[in-house]
Amino acid sequence: MELYIDFGIKIYMKLHIPNSAFLGNMDTFIRSYSPLSDNSLEITFNKSWMSVHPLVLSMTAALALQIKQNGGKIDAETPEATSKHYLDRMGLFKFLGIPSLSIREHEPAGRFIAITQITDTPALTKFITDMIPLLHTDRDQSMPIEYVISELVRNVFEHAQTNVGAIVCAQFFKKTNRVSIGVADAGVGIRRTIQVSHHAPDDASAIKLALTPGITGSTKQVGGTEANAGAGLFFIKSIAKVNRDYFLIYSGNAMYKLLKTPAGKAIRLYANPMEDRYSMHADFPSWHGTAVGIDISVDKTQKFNELLDMIRQIYRIDTKDRKKERYKRARFI
C-alpha cells in the first residue's frame, strides 16, 4: 500500500548512501533520512564512490526489513559507483531487492561479516563465533568486542519489541587495525523503553538515562535488577573510551556521539555521559528504533577483566551515591 497526498504525489521514506559515512561524520548520512512513510522506501546512492561504516549498512537493511514486514515497497536504484561490488558482497543488495552483480565471493574470515539478521540466541552465538577470526587477536583482546555484540543484540531482544530482530554488520580495517561494528533495529526506540520506569520527556533525555549505569526500563530501582543491572550501554561506551575510539547511539530524533579522547590525555570514566567529551543533537529525523555504532582499535584493547574492573568501580560508586541521595530526600506525610 502506497501513501498519497493531494494530486497523487507518493510519499516515500527516503535514505541516501553518501560517498563517506563513518562515526565521526555520521551526521550527514542521518540527516539524509526522511521518515515520511512506514511502507514505502526509496534508496539512492552517491554516483562516484562510497565508503561507509557498517552501521550505515545495518540501518539501511533494518529499514528494508521493516518495510517488507509492513507489506510495503522498496524502490532502490542500482548503484553506479565501482564500490557497488562492496555493497553487494556485504549483502545490502539482497536486503534491498537489487539483482546481484554475480561477483566472485571471497572468504570473509578475517575481513568482514556481511549484514546479518539475528532473531534468537542461537543465531547470536553463531554470529559471534564467525566474528572471532575477524579480530586478528588473542582471547583477552577479543572478549570486549564479543561483549559489545552480545550486549547490543540482547538489548534488541529484551526491549525493542520487533519481529525483525537485530541487524548486525562488522568490518576489520587492516590499515588502522580497527574493528567497526553496527547494530540497528526498527523497534520502539529507547524513550518508550525507558519511560516504563523513568521520566524521559524527550529522546535526548532517554538516551542520557540509557547510558547512565544502574538505569533500566525494567525497574525504577537504582542499580537495576539481578537480571538487568542497566549497565550494558555504559560498559560499551566505556570500552570505546578506554580505546580512544568513537561510540554512537541514535534513537528517535536524538543522537549521542562519544568523541575520541586525544592521545596523551588521561582516560577518566564518568557515570554521567554528559561529562564525557561528546556531541549530542536532538533535531535529527526520527528513527523508529535504535542504532548503535562503535569502533574498537584491536591493538589498544586492554585485558577484558582489567577493563571490567575499571568500569565496575565507576558503576558501584555512582549507584551507591544515587541510592544515598534518594534516601536523603525529604519525605512528607
pTM of the model: 0.87
Write out residues in the chain with pLDDT < 50, as ranges: 1-9, 109, 217-229, 322-323, 325-333
The pLDDT score that the predictor gives to residue 79 is 94
Residue 246: how many other CB atoms lie within 10 Å: 22
Alpha-carbon distance of 156 to 189, in angstroms, equals 10
Residue labelled with grid coordinates 547470536: 124
Identity of the amino acid at 290:
T
DSSP state of 7: G
Q: Please give the class, per CATH, of domain 11-328.
A: alpha beta
Could you tell me the three cell numbers for 300?
589498544
The pLDDT score that the predictor gives to residue 289 is 96
Could you tell me the three cell numbers for 131?
566474528
Alpha-carbon distance of 183 to 112, in angstroms, equals 14
Alpha-carbon distance of 191 to 199, in angstroms, equals 9
CB contact set of 294 (below 8 Å; sequence gap of 6+): 23, 148, 180, 181, 236, 239, 240, 245, 246, 247, 248
**Residue range 182-238, pLDDT digits in tens:** 999 999 999 999 998 889 999 999 999 999 988 864 444 443 334 444 588 999 999
The pLDDT score that the predictor gives to residue 12 is 77
The pLDDT score that the predictor gives to residue 220 is 45
The pLDDT score that the predictor gives to residue 138 is 73
Q: Is 252 exposed, middle or buried (0-12, 13-18, 19+ CB in 10 A)?
A: buried
Torsion of Cα atoms, 298 then 304 then 307 then 309, to 10°: 180
Alpha-carbon distance of 19 to 10, in angstroms, equals 27
The pLDDT score that the predictor gives to residue 42 is 94
Could you tell me the three cell numbers for 141?
583482546
Instruction: Enumerate the β-bridge partners of residue 53.
Output: none
The pLDDT score that the predictor gives to residue 103 is 58
CB contact set of 60 (below 8 Å; sequence gap of 6+): 15, 17, 43, 92, 95, 96
> What does the domain layout of the chain look like in residue ranges?
11-328
User: From the centroid of its chain, how far is CA 89?
Assistant: 21
The pLDDT score that the predictor gives to residue 21 is 96
- CA 133, 126, 30: angle at the middle one, nearest 5? 80
Identity of the amino acid at 254:
A
Alpha-carbon distance of 287 to 231, in angstroms, equals 23
161 — alpha (psi -120 to 50), left (phi > 0) or beta? left
